[in-house]
Structure 1
């Protein structure tokens, strides 16, 4: 991919993260990136097309920087899930609670008002859910989860808990909220391993 195109996407993604997609203009993106209008329209026919590229870029980055690091090794499945939460915590701690989740913010803003955005976010989150489900299946095969665990439901619960915790942390500007929520989520996962949680009973 062109470095200019990458630069436009990254600049736009950063601005959209803090201001929202609808409150970020092409003019602001051009000014911040230092790219001319002609170059912008060479790579993107519209602001919507740029938005789709932002979604793809952010899911790819999430895969490389979070799930790839947490799940791309030979550790046992429950340790991988804990590492996944620890990596996310470190990212948001370094940001000092600013911005929240790039994917979650944009999904909440656009999914009710633009069907194509909603569809693309659904595909991305479905992929994330499939990754978590695969790790849970690995845990199940290795005897780390109860036999009757509802793996897809548990994967959805983990994702919903993560996104909700990040949102609350952003609103209250208190990183201890994320820390406590992730500690409780780890505790729930351990309860699933012990067969004492509703989704695993």
Structure 2
């Protein structure tokens, strides 16, 4: 029950932070939406910032795990494994009504300036994302899927930047297909 309440609070807070914004979401909003008392929320999280850190950590762990699993699935093409990660992102964004773009950039921009733990966790996520995409691209270069001579590390940075930009544009334009188009064009650069 205790773990379930904690997880429920994280999920509710995540939805509220993305839909209303961190600044405009109160602890009371989270309690009302979850049906969990304020004292129970404070049992799990000492502050709203600690709740934000839990939200960011939840997403980070989820996406990092998905990419780490795909890294080991060498029987599937590198491109397909990266596309599977993108599909996971898109399914979650579509479930939110195409709101919230990338939770990490949204939470980074909305979090308090002095929220060092939150900023560090988001930075860690992007480092891990770059490393895992880099490894997938290296596998694709090694197996001949992508052309030789390209820098997997530079392409991984380009991919992450293009993905983040396409997520923002997709929400702004209310057109999730922008993310898929960006991904398709990125892979055309590699062959």
TM range (shorter): 0.7 to 0.9
In structure 2, the partner of 1:167 is 168
**What is the 5 A alignment of 1:144-163?**
144-163=145-164
Q: How has the CA–CA distance of structure 1 residues 98 and 69 changed in structure 2, closer, same or farther, with 3 Å as cutoff? A: farther
Deviations 1:38-61 (A, max 9, x none): 111111111111111010111123
**Contact 1:82–1:186, Cα closer than 8 Å, also in 2:** no
- Segments of structure 1 that go 5 or more residues without pairing to the other structure are 194-201
> 1-side partners of 2:123 and 2:94: how far apart?
27
**Contact 1:71–1:84, Cα closer than 8 Å, also in 2:** no
Q: How has the CA–CA distance of structure 1 residues 92 and 30 changed in structure 2, closer, same or farther, with 3 Å as cutoff? A: closer
Measured on the aligned residues, the alpha-carbon RMSD in Å equals 2.4
Displacement of 1:156: 1.1
1:26 aligns with 2:27: yes
Displacement of 1:174: 2.1
Task: Give runs of ≥4 in structure 1 deviating > 4 Å.
Answer: 68-72, 93-96
Quick check: 99-108 or 156-165, which moved more?
Answer: 99-108
Deviations 1:56-106 (A, max 9, x none): 111123235x53675452212233233333444454455552332222211
Q: How has the CA–CA distance of structure 1 residues 151 and 105 changed in structure 2, closer, same or farther, with 3 Å as cutoff? A: same
**Number of paired residues?**
189
In structure 1, the partner of 2:9 is 8
> 2-side partners of 1:32 and 1:104: how far apart?
24
In structure 1, the partner of 2:121 is 120
In structure 1, the partner of 2:60 is 59
Q: How has the CA–CA distance of structure 1 residues 90 and 45 changed in structure 2, closer, same or farther, with 3 Å as cutoff? A: closer
TM-score norm. by structure 1 comes to: 0.81
- Segments of structure 2 that go 5 or more residues without pairing to the other structure are none
Partner of 1:35, secondary structure, is coil
Q: How has the CA–CA distance of structure 1 residues 143 and 181 changed in structure 2, closer, same or farther, with 3 Å as cutoff? A: closer
TM-score norm. by structure 2 comes to: 0.85
